Chains A and B, each alone.
Chain A
Amino acid sequence: AQTVTQSQPEMSVQEAETVTLSCTYDTSESDYYLFWYKQPPSRQMILVIRQEAYKQQNATENRFSVNFQKAAKSFSLKISDSQLGDAAMYFCAYLFNSGGSNYKLTFGKGTLLTVNP
């Protein structure tokens, strides 16, 4: 079964500094997608960044970038120049097609990020 593990329940960072959130996953598939979602106190889930497994280049979105290590099944999120608005719960998620029309997202337990002014 596919599982997603976020080993850091909580992290904190000073404003303007850089923080890295860890995620590992377990799969026997070769073609899949990985995501980081952000859930602020409002509870609205927001897609932060995505990575296609077949792409070797790490995805970047402004201050957010990932370090995708396919062989190690690792997918970490780096937030540069952290801002107060980055404070949220961050979820790592995995999506694959097991055949036919069978798709679903599997989420990790989340990492609560605090940004200190």
Chain B
Amino acid sequence: KAGVTQTPRYLIKTRGQQVTLSCSPISGHRSVSWYQQTPGQGLQFLFEYFSETQRNKGNFPGRFSGRQFSNSRSEMNVSTLELGDSALYLCASSIRQGTYEQYFGPGTRLTVT
């Protein structure tokens, strides 16, 4: 079975722009969670999607949003980028919502200049 894939792997944007990151979960997995990883704040939970609905959200501003499609693929969008949004964005999938078996993708490294 193929693992979780994330595209693109690397991205460079300038302040004020917006960006969309994509995550394809493991086949059969219906839950997708997103995390932001930075040296200063560590790993922080962004949100979780299950059955095309956002089920849980972390403490991030409204500039961070996401969605999930009927095939369970998920996208994350960040609008009006700030320098502090530079981070590794990790996506994790699991078979069902809240299950403890979360499998992570390789991440998207976003650099905001």
Query: B46 to nearest A CB, angstroms?
Result: 9
Q: Which residue of A lies closest to B45 (CB)?
A: A104
In A6-38, the 8 Å CB interface with B consists of: 33, 35, 37
Chain B residue numbers with a CB within 8 Å of A101 are 50, 55-56, 97-98
5 A–B contacts from the bound complex (CB under 8 Å): A37-B104, A44-B106, A50-B100, A97-B98, A107-B43
Query: A38 to nearest B CB, angstroms?
Result: 11
A101-B56, A104-B58 given; A42·B106 CB < 8 A: yes
Chain B residue numbers with a CB within 8 Å of A50 are 100-101
Q: How many residues of B contact A (CB 8 A)?
A: 24
A91-B43, A104-B45 given; A35·B100 CB < 8 A: yes
Chain B residues within CB distance 8 Å of chain A: 33, 35, 42-45, 48, 50, 55-56, 58, 88, 90, 92, 97-98, 100-107
> A84 contacts the other chain (Cβ, under 8 Å)?
no
Chain B residue numbers with a CB within 8 Å of A108 are 42
Contacts between the two chains (Cβ within 8 Å), count: 54
A103 & B106 in contact (Cβ 8 Å cutoff): no
Q: How far is the CA of A33 from the CA of B100 in the complex (A)?
A: 7
Q: Which residue of B lies closest to A109 (CB)?
A: B42
Q: Which residue of B lies closest to A6 (CB)?
A: B42
> Chain B interface secondary structure, helix, strand, loop or mixed?
strand
Q: How far is the CA of A47 from the CA of B104 in the complex (A)?
A: 9
Chain A residue numbers with a CB within 8 Å of B90 are 45
Interface core residue of A44, A45, A46, A101 (most chain B CB under 10 Å): A45
> A95 contacts the other chain (Cβ, under 8 Å)?
yes
Q: How far is the CA of A75 from the CA of B21 in the complex (A)?
A: 34
Chain B residue numbers with a CB within 8 Å of A33 are 100
Chain A residue numbers with a CB within 8 Å of B43 are 91, 107, 110
Instruction: Give me 16 other A-B pairs in contact (C-beta within 8 A), A44-B105, A105-B102, A109-B42 excluded.
Output: A35-B100, A44-B104, A44-B107, A45-B104, A47-B102, A47-B103, A91-B43, A95-B98, A97-B98, A101-B56, A102-B55, A103-B48, A103-B55, A104-B48, A105-B45, A108-B42
